[in-house]
Amino acid sequence: MNRSVPRRSLGVLVLALACLISPVIVASEKSDGLAPEKTPQLVLKTLDGKKFDLSKHVGDVVIVDFWATWCPPCVKEIPDFVKLHKKYEKKGLVIVGVSMDKSDGPVKTFVKDQKVRYPIVMNGGDVWKEFQELLPEKQRGGIPATFIVRRDGGIEEMMVGYHDAKTFENAVKPLLAQKFDKKKTGNDAVGAGAGAGR
């Protein structure tokens, strides 16, 4: 008895699977994104022992990337982040990678091999939880999870899954082009959550 799947049915199945594994860009709740007071604190130590405090980067455009060395889509994005950082650092782009690895050994080796020059911190406290709560419930828990923070400290865009370099560049370029008066905002625009690593 021939139990072969009809071509049409097979095509529908392939398309459905593609939709399931495709990365999802999560739109902000409002057209102008999340307000600064909605952005969680992120205060953690970098691999070289320095403190990274997201609230100190009001005035910059920040990419917060939750990733891990054991996550293939995460690893695939890193070279693009390295290039993006090099290209736009002097224009006010800051990238911070929040590693979900259980120990920093593999992370240090990976960072050295990939010549990562932007700050890498190890996840700690409630940071991961607080950022995840910004996502729709069905998209929580997955990595890579990337949050793009505007110069005013508010979150402009949230992305889950692998995205290519062009997607990230298209997201940050308009934000980098915007003028921002840091004196009018101050340094307390970011940080409604508990934070960690202080």
CA 49 to chain centre: 21
Q: Read off the pLDDT of residues 73-113 as tens digits, 9 standing for 90 and up.
A: 999 999 999 999 999 999 999 999 999 999 999 999 999 99
Q: How far is CA 145 from CA 6, 10, 185, in A?
A: 37, 31, 27
Q: What is the pTM of this model?
A: 0.77
d(CA 192, CA 198): 15
Whether the CB-CB separation of 54 and 62 falls below 8 Å is answered with yes
Q: Read off the pLDDT of residues 5-34 as tens digits, 9 standing for 90 and up.
A: 454 444 434 333 333 344 444 433 323 456
What is the arithmetic mean of pLDDT over 116-123?
Answer: 96
The CATH code of the domain at 24-185 is 3.40.30.10
pLDDT at 187: 47
